[in-house]
Structures are given as C-alpha cells and as structure tokens.
Amino acid sequence: MTNYTGSSAKNAYIEFGSTSIKLYIVPTAAGDSKDVERERKVPWSLGYDVFSYGRISPRTMAHCISTLKSLRQEFSGISFEDVTAVGTAALREAQNSVIFQRQLESELGLRIQIIEGGIEAFLLETGFRNMVDDFPTALFDLGGGSNELIEYLNPASTRKTSIPVGAIRLHCQLRRTRTLYNYVEQGRLIVEREMKDHMPGNMPRYPEMLGTGGTVRAIVKSLGRDSFDFEDLQELIQREIHGEIWPTMPKHRRLLFLPGVLSVEVLFRTMGVQKVTYRKASVKEGLISFTSMLPAMGKPS
C-alpha cells in the first residue's frame, strides 16, 4: 500500500489485465474505504501478444514501462516499491512473465502478484457480495482471457469457477478462419468445449444471471438497455456477420465484440440462461478489501 501526495493518506493499486493497465488511488482515512478517488486506465496489447504467440513482446514491455513512468510523474507521491499490483490471465500464461516481472522491479521497484484464476474469482466474489440480495444467483465476468463464474448458493456459500474463455483469447484462436461463418461456428464449439471441461459436475442452471466486464457493457450499450436475452444476442451476431457499423463503439472494443458475444451466447445455451442483467463489478473492489491477504500469495523473488 502506498501513500501519494495530498491532504490525507492514500493507497495505490495497479491491475495488469489482458486489455489494459489500471491504476486506482484510494483514501485510507476510514481504514477500509472502497471509494476510488482517482483512476487511470491505459490500453495495451498484452492479451494479443500472449494469446497469439505465448509471450509478451518487447514493444508491449516498453509501452508498459513508459506508461508506468508517466503515471509516477502524474501521481508524484507514488512509491512503486509498495504499490499493490496484480496480474491476471495473460500474465499467468505468458512464457516470459518472470522476465517481465524482473524488468519492472529492476527499473521501477514494482513487484507484481500473479494471481490464479480461483483467486481472481474470489476477489470478484468479495467485491460483489454486498450487491447480492437473492439466493441462489450467479454472476459472470467475461474478460479478455478468462470468464470468472461466481455462484452465490446461499449467504454463507459460494462456488467459483475460472473458465479459460475470453474475448481476446477467442479472437486469437479464430484469427486464421477464412469466413465469418467459420469464425462463428468454430467459436461456439471452442467456448462450449471449455465450459464443459471446466465446470464442476453437472452444468448449473440459472434462468437469470448477472453479467459484468467489457463485452457485457458493450452489449447493453448497443441495445440501449441493461438486460438482454438469447434473441438479442442472435440479432447482434447477425449484425456482425452482415457488417453493420457500430458508430459509438470504441475502436479497441470493436474487434472483440463478436468473440465476446459468442462467449455469452454459449453461456445462454449451455446453462439454460434466459436473461442477463448488467452490473458493474470487478476485481478492483475485492482487491481493495483484501489487500492485507495478498502478501501470503507470494511475491516474485
């Protein structure tokens, strides 16, 4: 945890995701405040590197170091030696992740916790728990490299599953398909196989689910409402196949929209989902709440 200059003590957190580097500044006056005072999100190409070639490219490493140096200048009181930093799916799988970690520590004094999928799901569960009123219910967070599924079985029991399906990962797996038709059909098969391989026991059934992450946010924005059903996804896929333009969609989201929608569509079909409602949730809230637990996970040597 890190103080930065200002009228009161602050903590700093950095999350290295598949699509972006995220910095959060949080006040510490209340001891366990979850209110993010300032936040920066910088896109990078980590997911494309790792899920296409298995490694972090020198260009991506250089971009990361340049970005962090800029953030250090902007938040002049940050001491990277004490920042709580975590990496998720892409950094877990990068063949040269250790080299990347050592470079960040050597040049910036920053040490990253590479968290497993189960821990990532745990942090998501923790951050979202206060928003759950009805049981059983389920939440999924579809990211660039994985889909974290949290089942809130009752107030005292949850089940967490990390599925290696994400919008960037799926796009990289499908990038050599010759037609959009093949892209869609092969994408469905990949997602269905991964879900069946990683879900414990029989596939759970949830007619209604909560969804979060960039893809779900893009879906509800494109539809103009917070909930959607299977027919809505079918219409979005058809629009993608026929090349319709989404004028308000950010450029970085555009390429990932179709593989993301396919991933959610298979979730509907395999789990009997009839409706998904978007809720804003992330690892961030759980990370802030459980910072004190992270050193026990082990830091890079």
Query: Which pLDDT score, from 0 to 100, does residue 121 have?
Result: 83
299, with CB counted inside 10 A (0-12, 13-18, 19+), is middle
Q: Three-state secondary structure along the chain?
A: CCCCCCCCCEEEEEEECCCEEEEEEEECCCCCCCCCCEEEEEECCHHHHHHHHCCCCHHHHHHHHHHHHHHHHHCCCCCCCCCEEEECHHHHHCCCHHHHHHHHHHHHCCCEEECCHHHHHHHHHHHHHHHCCCCCEEEEEECCCCEEEEEEEECCEEEEEEECCCHHHHHHHHCCCCCHHHHHHHHHHHHHHHHHHHCCCCCCCCCEEEEECHHHHHHHHHHCCCEECHHHHHHHHHHHHCCCCCCCCCHHHHHHHHHHHHHHHHHHHHHCCCEEEECCCCHHHHHHHCHHHHHHHCCCC
The mean pLDDT of 117-129, rounded to a whole number, is: 81
> Does the pLDDT value for residue 297 go beyond 60?
no
| Annotation: CATH topology of 118-278 | Nucleotidyltransferase; domain 5 (3.30.420)
Q: What's this model's pTM, rounded to 2 decimal places?
A: 0.85
**CATH tag, 10-114:** 3.30.420.40
The 10s digit of each residue's pLDDT in 40-51 is 999 999 999 999
Specify the domain boundaries for CATH 3.30.420.150 within the chain.
118-278
The 10s digit of each residue's pLDDT in 129-175 is 777 888 888 999 999 999 999 998 888 888 888 899 999 999 999 99
The mean pLDDT of 12-33, rounded to a whole number, is: 78
Specify the domain boundaries for CATH 3.30.420.40 within the chain.
10-114
